[in-house]
Amino acid sequence: MFTAQGPTLPELAVQALSSVERGYDLLAPKFDLTPFRTSDRLLEATARTLEPLGPFGEGLDVCCGTGAGTGVLLRLCERRAVGVDFSAGMLGEARSAHPGAPGGPEVGWVRADVRRLPFAGAFDLAVSFGAFGHFLPGERPGLFAGVRAALRPGGLFAFPVGAPPRVGSRAYWTLWGFDAAMRVRNALWRPPFVMYYRTFPLPGVRRELADAGFEVGTLPLEELGRREDGSPRCRLVVARRT
Ligand SMILES: C[S@@+](CC[C@H](N)C(=O)[O-])C[C@H]1O[C@@H](n2cnc3c(N)ncnc32)[C@H](O)[C@@H]1O
**pLDDT tens-digit profile of 96-113?**
999 999 999 999 999 999
Section 51-72 average pLDDT: 98
Task: Determine the pLDDT at residue 144.
Answer: 98
Task: Determine the pLDDT at residue 13.
Answer: 86
- Sign of the torsion formed by the C-alpha atoms of 145, 148, 153 and 157: negative
Confidence of residue 1 (pLDDT cuts 50, 70, 90): low
CB 106 within 8 A of CB 80: yes
Instruction: Give distance in angstroms: CA of 21 to centre of ligand 1.
Output: 8
Which conformational region is residue 168 in: left (phi greater than 0), alpha (psi within -120 to 50 degrees), or beta?
left
Alpha-carbon distance of 44 to 146, in angstroms, equals 26
Instruction: Give distance in angstroms: CA of 102 to centre of ligand 1.
Output: 28
Determine if the peptide bond prior to 141 is cis (ω within 30°).
no
Share of the chain above pLDDT 90, in %: 94
Alpha-carbon distance of 40 to 23, in angstroms, equals 23
123 lines ligand 1 (CB under 6 A): no
Domains and CATH numbers, the chain: 1-36 (no CATH), 38-164+201-241 (3.40.50.150)
Count helices and strands (H / E) in the chain. Answer: 8, 7
Section 57-84 average pLDDT: 98
pTM of the predicted protein model: 0.96
Alpha-carbon distance of 81 to 232, in angstroms, equals 29
- Test site for ligand 1: of 86, 98, 119, most ligand atoms within 8 A of the Cβ: 86
Instruction: Give distance in angstroms: CA of 64 to centre of ligand 1.
Output: 6
Q: If we measure between CA atoms, which residue out of 200, 195, 194 comes closest to residue 235?
A: 200
Q: Is the pLDDT of residue 216 over 70?
A: yes
For residue 20, give every residue at least 6 positions away whose Cβ sits within 8 Å of its Cβ, in sequence order, or none: 134, 193, 194, 195
Task: Determine the pLDDT at residue 2.
Answer: 67
Q: Using one digit for the tens of pLDDT, what is the confidence trace for 148-205? A: 999 999 999 999 999 999 999 999 999 999 999 999 999 999 999 999 999 999 999 9
Residue 127 has a CB neighbour count (10 Å cut-off) of 29
Alpha-carbon distance of 183 to 200, in angstroms, equals 16
Q: Is the pLDDT of residue 16 over 90?
A: no
Q: Using one digit for the tens of pLDDT, what is the confidence trace for 131-153? A: 999 999 999 999 999 999 999 99
Share of the chain above pLDDT 70, in %: 99
